[in-house]
Amino acid sequence: MKHSIKHDISDDLAKKATKKAFESYIERFSEFNPTANWTSDSRADIGFAVKGKKLDGSVELAPGTINLEMNVPFLFKPFEKKAVGVIEGEIQKWITRAKNGELGE
């Protein structure tokens, strides 16, 4: 599953917003054991555990876009849109905060 989130902030702010979004997600949804491991300046490997199954994927930053890719097992396909909506909502919230100068340094 691939999904792109458009934004109109600088690449640096997009990375900060994405990191903050995942930090918040990790805290709020700790029961799913979410992980985000930044492997480069523009890519993070992400993962979640649901009902004993590990879902993995990546987030990749590109100019004007945050690309999300998840490997979703067939069993979880019915929940795919909801999961993407939650992740995108969290990232959009932090993009708005970045625009408003609320990320802090």
Mean pLDDT of 72-80: 75
Match 């992740």 to its residue by tokens: 87
Average per-residue pLDDT for the chain:
87
- DSSP bridge pairs for 2: 69
Q: What is the pLDDT of residue 72?
A: 76
Inter-residue contact 14 to 94 (CB < 8 Å): no
Span between the terminal Cα atoms of the chain, in Å: 33
pLDDT in tens, 22-65: 888 888 888 888 899 999 999 999 988 877 878 888 999 999 99
pLDDT greater than 90 at residue 70 = no
Fold of 2-99: TATA-Binding Protein (3.30.310)
Q: Where are the domains of the chain?
A: 2-99
Q: What is the pLDDT of residue 105?
A: 55
**Sorting pLDDT into bands at 50, 70 and 90, what band is 82?**
confident
